[in-house]
Structure 1
Amino acid sequence: MSNVEAHPVETRCGGQPDGAGASAVEVLTPREVPLGGPRAMPVRRTLPQRARTLIGAWCFADHYGPDDVGGTGGMDVAPHPHTGLQTVSWLFSGEIEHRDSLGSHAFVRPGELNLMTGGFGISHSEVSTPRTTILHGVQLWVALPDEHRNAERDFQHYVPAPVPLEGGHARVFLGTLAGDTSPVSTFTPLLGAELSVEPGATVTVDVDAEFEHGLLVDTGDVRLNGAALKPAELGYVAPGHTVLTLVNEGPLTARLVLLGGPPFGEEIVMWWNFIGRTHDDIVRAREAWQNASDRFGQVVGYQGDRLPAPALPNATLTPRKNPAPAAKDVS
């Protein structure tokens, strides 16, 4: 997925701040961003934002739908580039056709993971299919560590089986949870899972104390370690916890996405669809895309023009580091 903002912000993201071991649940609210298409399908962006720019290596989270494509036109994101990251596509309903410059032609379907590695450079397109009536899901990015940020292009597909939990179930698409481990390879330790919690149920999951975690609520009236979360909000929990407690206080099954990873200790610069380490990295990537260099390859089969890169900002912004979680009484 592309960041289609007309004036994307250049963001410097730093390592873990002092005090990040606090036990509070930090509640992050999304902002709405239009995602192309003839009538601009809206998405809810939770990462990055001023309150928090990274959760582990997770650096970007868009949550969209349920979207009636008859009214919005659905998703039609023309070929666009990526560097220094992996894209993670996960759907709740609908279907998206994916084409990339590696030659992959695949479909994103509910409960199936598509993970694409941009590394030094890749380009791809994403279009909701004619079979889609309701489009609903998340699009996530993972920052690559410096030693792997120029990795070769790659594409992986995986269909996780549901894992039973007492009071719900999980589908683990990255990392390990509830005794289940995804075979999909990543460049830093990560956790990614869809969780379902039955009405009125309390679910406890064992987690890695070295990880920080984010719980994105798709549906349901949920409490995370006692803190109330509304749909589309993301609850952040700092490292130091070995258990997360999820309570569904509503009458319907809650659907959640759990993300995690050890704090990403490197400073990165993220602008538009590029991740680098310096402003010059971004300038070179943009010039390569605008000049149609071989760095990003060609997407075959998309009907239409590719996305042009926005204009660069006039000045480099100052670093934006993750703040420590604010203290919050959730008792």
Structure 2
Amino acid sequence: MRIAIDAMGGDHAPKEIIEGVELSRDENPDVIYDLFGLTDEIKKYLKNDQNIEITQADEVIEMGEEPVRAIRKKKQSSLVLAAQSVKDGKNDAFFSAGNTGAILAAGLFVVGRIKEIDRPALTTTLPIVTPKEGMSDKFVMLDVGANADSKALNLYQFAFMGKYYATNVLKIDNPRIGLLNNGTEADKGDMLHKEVHELLAANKDINFIGNVEARELLNGAADVVVTDGFTGNAALKGIEGTALSTLNLIKSSIMDGGMKSKMGALMLKDVFKSIASKMDYSKYGGAMFLGLKAPVIKAHGASKQETVKNTLAQIKTIIDSKMITEMVDYVDSHKAELDAIKESVKKG
């Protein structure tokens, strides 16, 4: 197994990327890590080159660059060369914590999308705070940022792919598919969401449970939450921000509450650690651009070594599951259905 890594992508690259790679390598001796970037910079932080290869890349795509222009202009960048190595079959997956738009553009124009899937969806895994017995402790949400403007057909395809991700990576049998909306009633939302609801409800191949509200996501409202990229990204950042703010509020309240509060906090230390661990999004790795011909995974730009390590573990699971190959076959076997949906949407 081989993973192509953009060593120069991210706010803390290449140091934290390389340290995360070494942590992953120590746990997975059967994986080869191909680091793309400025060789001298990479070697500066690399302690042990076992199972690690370095591919020189003379250019770096910065976080603020216009995505499509950047990948077309900087063909010798670490991001583009890493993606190209997957396209050429040298590596099995591509990972970066860099410019999200550039990673998406490289995924589309270099790696390529699955036929019959119009747009890839940025797919993330989030925790369920209090899972019921027999329920998974995680759920999948897509799209969380790849497509700000989406059509009904796109969201229908997201549900199609999300089911496969939940089944093959999270190992959830017959995952419950929910549509993120501003109410649970079938007639809620704008015209887009009403149309998507109708399309999903008519598909007997998926376990569609209807609309779900943002406030119920962490309570296990669904195993797969389908949404457009604008709404999904806003919801994701809201969840992350609320979790961090709540933990900071508890901490400041304890510090300002005097000796009695501090003694109580000391007694609940293990409880607070458990809560912080469950709400730590870095544990769940990166977000995958689902709908491409190979695994392309994006980690948060501010990722540190632990997040990088966890994301690489996630990539290994994805490769081991052969999910992409199976999904391509599944999509191909449902070509007639997908084409019919596409035609019905076009006709309005």
TM range, smaller chain? under 0.3
Larger Cα Rg: Structure 1 or Structure 2? 2
Which is strand-richer, 1 or 2? 1
Which is helix-richer, 1 or 2? 2
Higher relative contact order (CA 8 A, sep 6+): 1
> Normalising by structure 2, what TM-score?
0.25
